[in-house]
Amino acid sequence: MSILIINIKSLVQVRPEGVSKLSGEEMKTLPTIEDAFLLIEDDTIIDYGKMTEAYSMSADKIIDATGKLVLPSWCDSHTHIVYAGDRSQEFVDRINGLSYEEIANRGGGILNSAEKLQNCSENDLFEQSLERLINVTKLGTGAIEIKSGYGLTVEAELKMLRVIKKLKDETGMAIKSTLLGAHALPVDYKNNKSGYVDQVIEKMLTLAVKENLADYVDVFCEKGYFDLEDTEKIMAAAKAYGIKSKIHVNQFNAFGGVELGVKYDALSVDHLEEMNPEDYVALKGSNTIPVALPSCSYFLSIPYTPGRKIIDSGLPLALATDYNPGSTPSGNMNFVVSTACIKMKLTPEEAINAATLNGAYAMGLSDSHGSITIGKKANIIITKPVSNYNYLPYAFGDNLIDKVYLNGKIVA
């Protein structure tokens, strides 16, 4: 089945093959073709160019995109969308004055979600997660990473990873799976953190590898959660299996986690609301991409990741949602892109690059996703009629998406 999209006002994020990520100055440019066409065959982009070159072309289906933009679908490289129930009561508790930390110390937070998830059947968990996944595809997300981390027992972590696999198998979406067994210390291990870390390595990681359920490993490297020693142990064990890390680091405190991530050649270091000068130095010249999660800063009223400074230091930056029940109950990448412009002072070009190609890199998917490139997956957003791409982050809160195509098929 071939689809020819014609009269595209602006075809956005057009790249030749082989551009895997964008750093510093490179992020300022967002290549576009005005008055363009795009040709898709089955699930693949096979051609694009100026409309003047398209008049003799034919296809099974022709879509007229007069006045509209076409861009690659969003690549959301950091989510926790497999969870049970919600934490709306904690939201109200925070409005009434409790902090995120105080709620966690009272047994709320991640432990609250873990209890809900442990008591939820695998099928119910799948259904709840599928609904969230479908909702974010309608908002333009076409590739996504999903973490475990609300199980905190061997059985429940594996249940989460199986649900992620089923989401992948049943939707055909580009999904990467991350084992985040070290997300919080379960009550049973309150006085035995090293015992829990051993459990993560010897049981969870070993089984996840055996059953081929984890593409990456993650650790919540933070005061009161897992320290540098724990994080290093888990990353080293994953590395021995050939599994790369994507770590939660510098959310509330910066104490060397970024350097450690780079030392282990982590694919990404995520959050970074707090940054030390050494962190910039460590990241320079590495393969590790910094990932900012502005919706989390918005929801928790914590500082925004210094994205402007990260880019001005010549580093790459990716943007993701962090969709989860505690710190970011939202999977809307359009909001993320707007918020990055408004609060982190990224230009629309930088924010769109960070949410597409660099997001793909942060999932190891930039060969197949994140740009309009011949041979890449036909994952695209067709907008409503808008004046130009600056209008997308400018009109924050508006739904400007007309249609989404994933693997060449329309998302209903």
Point out which residues bind ligand NIG (CB under 6 A).
109-110, 113, 220, 248, 251, 296, 322, 324-327
- Under DSSP, the state recorded for 212 is T
**If you count them, how many residues does the chain have?**
412
Please compute Rg for the chain using Cα positions.
21
Name the residue nearer to ligand NIG (CB basis): 70 or 146.
146
353 interface partner picked from ligand NIG, Fe ion, none, CB below 5 to 8 A per type: none
Q: State the nearest-atom distance from the C-beta of 271 to ligand NIG, in Å.
A: 7
DSSP states of 89-114 as a string?
Answer: HHHHHHHTT--HHHHHHTT-THHHHH
Closest approach of ligand NIG to the CB of residue 328, in Å: 6
Give me the least distance between CB of 184 and Fe ion, in Å please: 12
Q: Could you tell which of ligand NIG, Fe ion, none binds residue 326, using a CB distance below 5 to 8 A set by kind? A: ligand NIG
251 binds, among Fe ion, ligand NIG, none (CB under 5 to 8 A by kind): ligand NIG
Q: Nearest-CB residue to Fe ion?
A: 322
Smallest distance from the beta carbon of 324 to Fe ion, in angstroms? 6
Rounded to the nearest 10 degrees, what angle do helices 348-355 and 333-344 cross at? 140
- 315 to 334, contacts with Fe ion by CB under 5 A? 322
Residue pair 117/164 in contact by the 8 Å Cβ criterion: no
Q: Would you report the helix, strand and coil content of the chain in percent, each value rounded to 5?
A: 40, 25, 40
What's the CA gap between 399 and 411, in Å, rounded?
A: 15
Q: With CB under 5 A, what is the number of residues at the site for Fe ion? A: 1
212 vs 253, which CB is nearer to ligand NIG?
253
Task: Tell me the closest approach of the beta carbon of residue 279 to ligand NIG, in angstroms.
Answer: 17
Q: Which residue has the tokens 């460590």?
A: 282
Answer yes or no whether residue 232 interacts with Fe ion by CB under 5 A. Answer: no
Min separation Cβ 313 and Fe ion, Å: 23
- Residue 398 CB contacts under 8 Å (≥ 6 apart), including other chains: none
Sequence-distant (6+) residues with CB within 8 A of 174 are 142, 143, 144, 363, 365, 368, 369, 377, 379
Which amino acid is present at 105?
N
Q: Which residue is nearest to ligand NIG (CB)?
A: 326
For Fe ion, give the closer residue by CB, 10 or 113.
113
> Closest CB to Fe ion among 320 and 406?
320
Q: Closer CB to ligand NIG, residue 97 or residue 242?
A: 97
The helix (H) or strand (E) run that includes residue 292 is strand 289-292
Say how far apart CA 408 and CA 117 lie, in whole Å.
34
Task: Give the residue with the Cβ less far from ligand NIG, 251 or 358.
Answer: 251
Question: What are the structure tokens assigned to 319, written together?
Answer: 């943007």
Closer to ligand NIG by Cβ: residue 251 or 353: 251
CB of 234 to ligand NIG, least distance (A): 15
Strand partners, 403: 382
d(CA 300, CA 296): 6
Per partner kind, with CB cut-offs from 5 to 8 A, the member of ligand NIG, Fe ion, none near residue 325 is: ligand NIG
In the complex, what is the shortest distance from the CB of residue 222 to ligand NIG, in angstroms, rounded to a whole number? Answer: 7
Say which entry of ligand NIG, Fe ion, none residue 267 contacts (CB below 5 to 8 A, set by partner kind): none
Taking the C-alpha atoms of residue 30 and residue 357, their distance in angstroms, rounded to an integer, is: 11
Binding residues (CB under 5 A) for Fe ion: these are 322
